[in-house]
Chain A
Amino acid sequence: MDSNQKRKNESSKKPKVQVEDLHKSFNGKQVLKGVSFEVYSGETLAIIGPSGCGKSTILKLLCGLLQPDKGKVEMATDNIGLVFQGSALLNSLTVRQNLSLALRGHKLKRNEETKKIEEKLNLVGLKEQIDSYPSQLSGGQQKRTSFARAIVYDPEIILYDEPTTGLDPVMSTIIEDYMIELESKLHAASIVVTHQLSTWTRTADRAVLLHDGKIVWQGVPQEAMNSSDPFIKQFAHASREGPMEIG
């Protein structure tokens, strides 16, 4: 075994993201009641579950925007990218300035920076809008800009909150393809929160189903459709009958 291979094996043994017994409540309402999982580099974990079950909350706990009431969050690096559910672009800056701001701490030369920004904007099909302000973009274009911003500095851990929601099917596929490419190219550890079936079945290696503050099912996405587990059966088949009472 050569040393390179060995190092890779060792680093893949230690998870990039490790979460243990996570608890979080807002104003006395318990949202997370003990969630544990880990993600290794080169792997994508999908978090699925009904609206309001705490998926975005988990991502915010992971990148330190919220503090857990109880439990442990261990991130192997602080080079984290987050695609916000609501885009969260800086309104006073153009698309180019938004991406450039994300690269601020990374001390790149000016032409390198420009190259990186243009490359990522090309990828999400927004070359033309580079000097537009967020308010001049459509919702889907904002989402794609937010995606480009989160990945422009090649993060080692990437968190996607609904990266394909509101996009047309072709653009969804482009984004999904790129998520898969990033995973292998950067060897990043990724977590994707999504309601879109194609997104989690295509990009994720594993999925966890969150319900009532706990993980009620986990497994490989391909198994989800044929599983006999009542929770994932209900969720994957979008059925009203089942153990989850939603709303």
Chain B
Amino acid sequence: MQQQPVIKNGIFKPYLIFEAWFGSGVRLCGQTILLLFHTIRYILQGKIDWPEVFRQSNMIGVKSFAVVAITALFTGFAMSLQIARELVLFGADTAIGGVVSLALIREIGPITAGVMVAGRVGSAIAAELTTMMITEQIDALKVMRIDPAQYLVVPRYLAGVFMMPVLSIYAMFIGLFAGILIAQSAANLPMATFLDSVKQTILDRDFHVHFIKSFINATIIIMFSCAIGLSTRGGAEDVGIATTRAIVWTMTMIFVFNYIVTSLTYAPR
């Protein structure tokens, strides 16, 4: 990566940091959008290596189940405890299931799964592709007339798009399980009452938005980390820089887009 021009003519220029930072951010967003277009074009043309998609689904999805379960479980515990405490004060303990499940399906499920996959998978993809870049493996692909977008990005993207909703729903169920445990132990609420309240509260629309959010999360994670990996040049130390950059960008974007989707679908009218 190039040295950022912070000092010019021997004078420290703080705005140059901002300019360099802003410029590289804009460039990355452009690269990401372009890469997304290329990837979608290849998918529409049917140029898909299914065995590789399967392999990537295993790497991206199956191996994330454990970390997603642990985070969803403890987020579920903490959140349910807070909700149960407040609702019991109002004597509305039968509504605990509804409130917990709404929070899970609308916000906590997609966010938890998204953030964990961003940390586990986004960083791994950025590190892998950056390594391939600096060891000229990407150049070798180009000489063999193989587009890295088709060979590397398409299978990872499809795997991400297939596995992310599964992981989000899974995170939601783990969270619900935590909610049931807390409701039983802290508020003495039977499981049947809890689930009744869940059924009455959650609508089809919540599932639709849930899927939209996980689709967007998958797109953010795979596209940003691939674009970062494929645009990094230099030496071994740049692998670390690219990894950090991928995590920061994917997580930030997940939170931003999560809010955008929420505000478009749930804002009070």
The 8 Å CB contact of B140, one of A80, A84, A104, is A84
The 8 Å CB contact of A86, one of B135, B141, B145, B146, is B135
Contact assessment for A60 and B137 in the assembled complex, using a CB-CB cutoff below 8 Å: no
Q: Which of A87-95, A178-186, A189-197, A222-230 contacts B (4 or more CB under 8 A)?
A: A87-95
Chain B CB within 8 A of A63 CB? yes
Known contacts A27-B2, A84-B140, A88-B140; is A105 also within 8 Å of B135 by CB? no
CA distance A63 to B132 in the complex (A): 19
For the complex, count residues of A whose C-beta is within 8 A of B: 20
Interface of B is mostly: helix
Can you identify 16 A-B contacts, CB atoms within 8 angstroms? Answer: A63-B143, A81-B143, A82-B143, A84-B139, A86-B136, A88-B136, A88-B140, A90-B132, A90-B140, A90-B141, A91-B131, A91-B132, A91-B137, A102-B144, A104-B146, A105-B145
The 8 Å CB contact of A65, one of B2, B132, B142, B146, is B142
Enumerate chain A residues within 8 angstroms of B144, measured Cβ to Cβ.
Answer: 101-102, 104-105
Task: Give the nearest-CB partner of B3 in chain A.
Answer: A27
Task: Give the nearest-CB partner of A82 in chain B.
Answer: B143
Interface of A is mostly: loop
> How many of chain B's residues touch chain A, expressed as a range?
10 to 19
Greatest chain B CB density within 10 A among A60, A65, A80, A149 is at A65
CA distance A84 to B141 in the complex (A): 12
Enumerate chain B residues within 8 angstroms of A149, measured Cβ to Cβ.
Answer: 140
CA distance A246 to B213 in the complex (A): 59
CA distance A101 to B141 in the complex (A): 9
Contact assessment for A101 and B146 in the assembled complex, using a CB-CB cutoff below 8 Å: yes
Contact assessment for B137 and A90 in the assembled complex, using a CB-CB cutoff below 8 Å: yes
Chain B CB within 8 A of A78 CB? yes
Task: Give the nearest-CB partner of A98 in chain B.
Answer: B140
